[in-house]
């Protein structure tokens, strides 16, 4: 039964591809262009450089100075803070990818990795400003409030799931000053490390492209089947694939009181497509996916509530 339920969406998509080839082609092409024009140029360089830094063991040289900040406010080691920073700068799903890479390289413990998954994988500032505020809502004035709401809700998630932090690893994480750190010994030639980092980056970005195309087609199925339901269909599109769903919701003409909390809530949640991408980034590890799911549902509620209060009060 589990296998049938897992395969059912793909059987539905296959039927959709055969019955509506023109619509399915348009949906797939839309997903492909989203990947090619947005994700490929914006994420691939970060993926390659991130892999290179992790494999050459240069992380603490970058983030050792504010070690007290990572320990006190986020309950993270200096290595774990790198996943938080990359997740913040790059957005989905770089936080999850760097977390998994650090865990594979034994830079962080399993407990810290699962704790990181509850708040280090979130939308990046460029996506929030350019896509959500300017393109979807058309309101430049909402950029700063959107930053505050999204990242405040994310930090509240960090506090709510703080009991999952690896406090023993934090106590042992001294992050020594630069003058006392020993020279790093690199086991493999730099050229080989660079090649491996490039191939790892291309493998990861190709996976993301496949997920985006699949979920774009599935979104076409939703629009075809649930169009008579109106608002429900738009919400389902947003929950399925965040980016195109946000565009669909923005075109409904709903009042800002309802639209803004819904858009930010879906952005904080990331959609099922981002969840699938995140799961794929954890492949080859024994990290549990449960903490991520619960944290994202919590983040959805917190973000929606903060956005609603902002619209109503401010």
Q: What is the pLDDT of residues 4-20, one digit of tens each?
A: 777 888 888 889 999 99
Cα separation of 80 and 170, whole Å?
10
57, 61, 50, 47: which is closest to 188 by C-alpha?
57
What is the pLDDT at residue 153? 96
Q: Copy the structure tokens of residue 131.
A: 């896509």
Cα separation of 302 and 65, whole Å?
32
Angle, nearest 10°, between helix axes 190-226 and 271-281?
150
197, 211, 169: which is closest to 31 by C-alpha?
211
Where is pLDDT greater, at 46 or 108? Answer: 108
168 CB burial (10 A radius; 0-12, 13-18, 19+): exposed
What average pLDDT does the segment 199-215 reach? 88
Cα separation of 138 and 122, whole Å?
22
What average pLDDT does the segment 126-137 reach? 89
- pLDDT above 70: percentage of residues in the chain: 93
What is the pLDDT at residue 45? 87
Cα separation of 228 and 51, whole Å?
47
What is the pLDDT at residue 188? 64
What is the pLDDT at residue 8? 83
**Buried b / exposed e along 222-261 (16+ C-beta atoms within 10 A):** bbeeeeeeeeebbbbbbbbbbbbbbebbbeeeeeeeebbb
163 CB burial (10 A radius; 0-12, 13-18, 19+): exposed
> How does pLDDT run across 247-305, given as a tens digit for each residue?
888 888 889 999 999 999 999 999 899 999 999 999 889 999 999 999 999 999 999 99
What is the pLDDT at residue 173? 75
pLDDT over threshold 50, residue 191: yes
Task: Report CA 85 to chain centroid distance, whole Å.
Answer: 13
Give the model's confidence band at 103: pLDDT under 50 very low, under 70 low, under 90 confident, else very high: very high
> How does pLDDT run across 27-68, given as a tens digit for each residue?
899 889 888 887 788 788 888 887 787 777 666 666 766 778
Alpha helices in the chain (DSSP H): 2-19, 21-34, 40-55, 59-63, 67-74, 78-90, 94-104, 110-116, 125-126, 143-160, 167-172, 190-226, 231-240, 242-250, 256-269, 271-281, 290-313
Average pLDDT, the chain: 86
What is the pLDDT at residue 180? 45
Q: Which residue in the block uniquely carries the two structure tokens 């493999």?
A: 188
Where is pLDDT greater, at 125 or 64? Answer: 125
> How does pLDDT run across 76-89, given as a tens digit for each residue?
998 899 889 888 88
Give the DSSP letter of residue 229. Answer: G
What average pLDDT does the segment 221-237 reach? 84
Where is pLDDT greater, at 180 or 83? Answer: 83
pLDDT over threshold 90, residue 99: yes
What is the pLDDT at residue 44? 87
Q: Copy the structure tokens of residue 171.
A: 């106590």
What is the pLDDT at residue 187? 56
Cβ–Cβ < 8 Å for 303, 274:
no
What is the pLDDT at residue 59? 61
């Amino acid at each position: 039964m589990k296998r049938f339920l897992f395969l059912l969406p793909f059987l539905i998509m296959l039927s959709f591809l055969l019955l509506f080839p023109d619509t399915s082609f348009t949906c797939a092409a839309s997903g492909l262009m989203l990947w090619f024009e947005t994700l490929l140029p914006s994420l691939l360089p970060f993926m390659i450089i991130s892999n290179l830094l992790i494999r050459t063991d240069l992380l603490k040289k970058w983030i050792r100075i504010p070690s007290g900040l990572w320990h006190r406010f986020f309950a993270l080691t200096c290595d774990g803070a790198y996943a938080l920073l990359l997740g913040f700068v790059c957005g989905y799903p770089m936080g999850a990818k760097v977390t998994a890479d650090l865990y594979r390289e034994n830079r962080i413990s399993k407990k810290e990795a699962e704790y990181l998954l509850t708040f280090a994988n979130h939308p990046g500032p460029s996506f929030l400003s350019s896509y959500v505020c300017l393109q979807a809502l058309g309101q430049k004035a909402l950029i700063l409030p959107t930053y505050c709401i999204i990242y405040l809700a994310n930090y509240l998630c960090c506090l709510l799931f703080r009991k999952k932090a690896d406090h023993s690893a934090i106590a042992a994480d001294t992050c020594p000053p630069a003058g006392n750190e020993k020279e790093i010994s690199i086991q493999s030639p730099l050229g080989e490390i660079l090649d491996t980092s490039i191939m790892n980056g291309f493998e990861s970005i190709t996976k993301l492209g496949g997920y985006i195309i699949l979920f774009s087609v599935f979104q076409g199925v939703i629009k075809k089947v649930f169009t008579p339901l109106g608002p429900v269909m738009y919400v389902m599109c947003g929950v399925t694939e965040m980016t195109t769903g946000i565009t669909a919701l923005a075109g409904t003409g709903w009042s800002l009181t309802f639209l803004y909390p819904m858009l930010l809530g879906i952005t904080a949640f990331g959609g099922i497509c981002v969840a699938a991408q995140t799961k794929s980034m954890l492949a080859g590890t024994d990290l549990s996916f449960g903490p991520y799911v619960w944290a994202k549902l919590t983040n959805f509620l917190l973000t929606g509530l903060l956005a609603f209060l902002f619209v109503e009060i401010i």
